[in-house]
Structure 1
């Protein structure tokens, strides 16, 4: 087994950023969520079948191996489970997590809405990639399948259950100039172990401890285990473990643990993987006859019409978890967002429109029953800032003050209260 070697994620790690971007070229383009953002108990298919005996490697060498990986072809099955500890509220919770879904007029095949399904529950994905311009990701359901396909400049999303499709075309001139395409493959919630690992390593810095903690066997392949932990106190994140393919440096499994313990918050790993060239037919798509097709511009306009206060919250989360702004209705820019702290203790301070907090029966004539339900969703807190309510999950917590400020981050309730007090 490899020794418990460590490395600090300072300038050396940041120097591998360009390499990581190169290594990420094969990643299946996906939309939203957040994190999360973010991503669970282990299933038998992911269980280790024995720790392989591999040559010793340091944490820095393993990070560099991930960055230098040039694997662009693969196909396989990914199992991803997410447990944020959000209480079930039926359709109301689903509507919030999915950015409003059909209730906001969005097409059911729109990636910005469909990919948010990955922020809760357990899902089976089939992925394939052949170079930087051909990728496919499919979310498998019992009775239907949602697929997101990119082939060159064409991007298609298709929901077999509703027979609806989403279509986007990349801007060729933008691609040639190195600028962001007008209609890129949608970004957002990480869907593969590599995406999760890339995002985490991209943001890791001096506040992160990185070690190699033995080896593992994932999807029939030998792997090293890279473990990242916050050096700071006050984070809700306990550790993140990345199982890295010993041969080609591709992350095969990603596990995120909460500082409070319990089962993983995010557990994503290949159950099957093949690094041979995938069949070309996987990247071709023609809408079946009768399919309702929504163009990207039309879908964007539908989201824009649904903009509201929740898009500000999403934008604040985006500072912590890339793509989290798409949890809001429109994914628009927050008008007044400040970032407090650094590293794992980063907190976004957001001013809500109108400077008002949650409604109350005293000020807004809210029925007592409704007020009781609202109060049950969070913890009342007070401080120099006044009073407010803390809404908690296992990963992300948010404090909404009565004067309309929101403090949100992957930090504890006490850290949010302290940030609000210091900002007063």
Structure 2
């Protein structure tokens, strides 16, 4: 099939607003297919043989995704993540915890395991009120169940249960979405500008289903993102496969895929849960507890319409951090936007810092120099950060050269 290129934003940005109705543990919930777009984050493995499908433009495919009415499904998928980070053992999962008394079943802690390695998951969804996600790890299982007003999580390894009321139950969206899928697609295309292109590039067989391949690429030089590829179910418009590739090449940063998917309604018993005998049950914090809630003005500070203001949203987000040092500024736009924070203090890796801290930073970063002076570069395959010795921080999904150039400019 010939490629049809249309400048546009990532479909993930369009889906962001739809996901806001889910609970704070919306990662597995949204993945379940409540919002068709989010299912794109947990894609599919393609089988051999590309199907012969009618040609479709990028605009039409975005409209098809937006118009998907998928509410029920079940299936199995694999998620592989490779950020290019060194093995940190239990450090990453420990960052998600809440101290020594935290439950090992708390999703805030457990789901951080998905940021690295390869994982197999089982999924079931029945509309916005019922979803179940099970993470398989050898003979152990971790299940997260949303059923009506309740969110349950169970860790078989520790025999611990975490329970919390769904903070989003009964709420309505804070803002209205476009009335029709076409309006939503038109809004995406109109707001894209010249930074992003979308290509409908061929077809694929994904989990036994015919799918179109949607390829999203930055048009700007200097981004660490090479492409985002999404396989979209030709019949339902449900995204089935998601692959995020880095300009560094090698394994994709994210490559997740359904190995099996069924759009029939799962049995109600799938979402029923009762704590096993002898299990330790931890009740989650009350909804009013501020330590887990986002500020009421978070959405405004981050950008009132993230899908419409991809790059500019980072600028609004930065304004919300004006109290840090001399404030956070955003340099550039789109895929090559760089956030700059001036802490006003020497970096912790300088000679003024304890040798233990300097040694830790040196083990994870590389020394760089330029007109700005010297500093330490911390790299992943997606996001890089430059910490200068005079306390300035430059962060973005951009290359090392782009960060050094930004630092050299003195802006």
| TM-score > 0.5, shorter chain as reference | yes
CA–CA distance in structure 2, aligned partners of residues 263 and 290 of structure 1: 43
Residue ranges of structure 1 left out of the alignment (5+ in a row): 33-37, 181-197, 305-314, 322-331
The counterpart of 2:336, out of the listed 321, 331, 345, is 345
Does 2:116 correspond to 1:120?
Answer: yes
Matches within 5 A, 1:385-424: 385-424=372-411
CA–CA distance in structure 1, aligned partners of residues 266 and 221 of structure 2: 45
In structure 2, the CA distance between the partners of 1:228 and 1:178, relative to structure 1 (3 Å rule), is: closer
In structure 2, the CA distance between the partners of 1:407 and 1:296, relative to structure 1 (3 Å rule), is: farther
- TM-score norm. by structure 1 comes to 0.74
Question: How far apart are 1:224 and its partner, in Å?
Answer: 0.5
In structure 2, the CA distance between the partners of 1:407 and 1:23, relative to structure 1 (3 Å rule), is: closer
In structure 2, the CA distance between the partners of 1:79 and 1:266, relative to structure 1 (3 Å rule), is: same
Question: How far apart are 1:338 and its partner, in Å?
Answer: 3.3
**Equivalent position of 1:243 in the other structure:** 231
Moved more, 99-108 or 124-133: 99-108
In structure 2, the CA distance between the partners of 1:55 and 1:255, relative to structure 1 (3 Å rule), is: same
CA–CA distance in structure 2, aligned partners of residues 170 and 25 of structure 1: 8
Moved more, 63-72 or 376-385: 376-385
**Equivalent position of 2:138 in the other structure:** 142
Matches within 5 A, 1:193-208: 205-206=192-193, 207-208=195-196
Does 2:170 correspond to 1:175?
Answer: yes
In structure 2, the CA distance between the partners of 1:376 and 1:299, relative to structure 1 (3 Å rule), is: farther
In structure 2, the CA distance between the partners of 1:171 and 1:371, relative to structure 1 (3 Å rule), is: closer
Residue ranges of structure 2 left out of the alignment (5+ in a row): 30-39, 176-184, 293-301, 312-319
Instruction: Report if aligned partners of 2:7, 2:189 keep a CA contact under 8 Å in 1.
Output: no
- TM-score norm. by structure 2 comes to 0.77
CA–CA distance in structure 2, aligned partners of residues 291 and 340 of structure 1: 51
**Equivalent position of 1:189 in the other structure:** none
Instruction: Report if aligned partners of 1:25, 1:72 keep a CA contact under 8 Å in 2.
Output: no
Q: Pairwise CA RMSD of aligned residues?
A: 3.8
SS in 2 for 1:399: strand
Instruction: Report if aligned partners of 1:320, 1:409 keep a CA contact under 8 Å in 2.
Output: no
Matches within 5 A, 1:14-25: 17=14, 21=18
In structure 2, the CA distance between the partners of 1:46 and 1:340, relative to structure 1 (3 Å rule), is: same
The counterpart of 1:282, out of the listed 239, 254, 270, is 270
Instruction: Report if aligned partners of 2:134, 2:143 keep a CA contact under 8 Å in 1.
Output: yes
Question: How far apart are 1:22 and its partner, in Å?
Answer: 8.4
Q: Number of residues paired by the alignment? A: 362
CA–CA distance in structure 2, aligned partners of residues 145 and 79 of structure 1: 15
**Equivalent position of 1:64 in the other structure:** 63
